[in-house]
Amino acid sequence: MRLTLLGVLTALLGALLGTLLAAPPAATAGQPRVVARKVVFELENTNATSVLCVPDNQTYEVRGRLVGPRRAVTGQSGPIRVNVLVHDLATGSWFWRLPGHPGYDYARRLARAGETSLVLDRLGYGASPLADGDATCLGAQADMLHQVVQHLRSGRYAFADPAAGTTPAAAHIVTHGHAVGAAIAQIEAGTFDDVDGLVLMSWTDRGATSLATRTAARQSAACAGTADYAPLARTGADYRALMFASAPADVQRAAARLRVDDPCGDVTSLSPMLAAANLAAGQVDAPVLLLYGAEDALNRPAAREQQATAYPTKVTTRTFAGAGSALPLEASAGKVRTTVLRWLR
């Protein structure tokens, strides 16, 4: 009898210990439940910015994913803050949520800290296809970002699945841009003055490296022919050399496999975009967070240091040792997210 009782107690203790070991730590248990919903914006491919380029002025559907705490995404928590994530050339929404690598899911990691993000595919990329790559340009991309901001504030956009409910309205909006996506966000903020903050990654309008200049010239030459889409990098190795300095090899390979060709309208408007971005910087009223990798192959160190002087508002700058351009995917991705979250708070 004594042996039987001892066996029962041992089994109970074992079960209890197994439950405790399987349970998430307290910090995880206290995190909000995170959900993602596909969303659709109906936008005009127009250009009301100072970027000298001409789009086709047609209406398109631009798609993305709203990622955040369940109550915020489903509109149950009232007006919210939305972080709008704007990708670079050659990428797409995947850049902010690298498939198969949850540790590098920028949007979901922000959501665990209570933030809600809109992860966009710009027109001509991913889930927002464009048949003619010459039909849009970077001025139109900034204009369409402005339209997205306005739709978010009014709640005038839709879930791709109508059964998902009513889309939430945003009381505050912060745009996060990477490289050319950062330039688009800067031009939008300086032109329309309708966002509450800017997180600009790996961007300067003060001076590109010779590698960046050669890459842009080669891509522009490809667009001078009959192509209406052109690759930023010819090979996966070329792309990795442009974007990375410290990311794990499997992360680099995954990103290189996902890279896409760029609409030639975006490519050929890079030069006028630089002039417009420089002008727009002096008109930005929202606070700015500038983030750089110390080993960024595309922006000169001196230019990175000078960029903070371009804005008439409060600017915070952080440089991450050992990191290249693709900050959310580099080895310091966790430090990048921590810096962003502290700044947002």
Tokens for 169, please give them: 């309205």
Backbone phi, psi, residue 225, to 5°: -90, -140
Output the pTM of the full model: 0.91
pLDDT of residue 21: 28
Please name the residues in contact with 57: beta carbons below 8 A apart, sequence gap of 6 or more.
44, 45, 46
Quickly count: other Cβ atoms within 10 Å of residue 257's Cβ.
10
How far apart (Å, rounded) are the C-alpha atoms in residues 34 and 29? 12
How far apart (Å, rounded) are the C-alpha atoms in residues 38 and 201? 25
Rounded to the nearest 10 degrees, the angle between the axes of helix 270-281 and helix 180-192 is 50
Please name the residues in contact with 280: beta carbons below 8 A apart, sequence gap of 6 or more.
49, 50, 186, 187, 189, 190, 191
pLDDT of residue 164: 82
3-state secondary structure of 317: strand
3-state secondary structure of 42: strand
Tokens for 204, please give them: 């300067």
User: Residues, the chain, total?
Assistant: 345
DSSP secondary structure of 156-176:
--EESSGGG-PPPPEEEEEEE
How far apart (Å, rounded) are the C-alpha atoms in residues 126 and 185? 19
Provide the β-strand partners of residue 178: 201
Tokens for 296, please give them: 């960024």
Per-residue tens of pLDDT for the chain, all 345 residues: 333 444 433 444 333 333 332 333 333 556 789 999 999 999 999 999 999 999 999 999 999 999 999 999 999 988 899 999 999 999 999 999 999 999 999 999 999 999 999 999 999 999 999 999 999 999 999 999 999 999 999 999 999 998 888 899 999 999 999 999 999 999 999 999 999 999 999 999 989 999 999 999 999 999 999 999 999 999 999 999 999 999 999 999 999 999 999 999 999 999 999 999 999 999 999 999 999 999 999 999 999 989 999 999 999 999 999 999 999 999 999 999 999 999 999
**Residue that has been written with the tokens 């803050």 in this structure:** 81
CB contact at 8 A, 45 and 56: yes
Element (H, E) at 241: helix 236-243
How far apart (Å, rounded) are the C-alpha atoms in residues 121 and 123? 6
Backbone phi, psi, residue 81, to 5°: -95, 135
Strand pairing report for 34-44 and 59-69: antiparallel
Element (H, E) at 61: strand 59-69
pLDDT of residue 26: 36
How far apart (Å, rounded) are the C-alpha atoms in residues 90 and 85? 15
How far apart (Å, rounded) are the C-alpha atoms in residues 310 and 204? 10
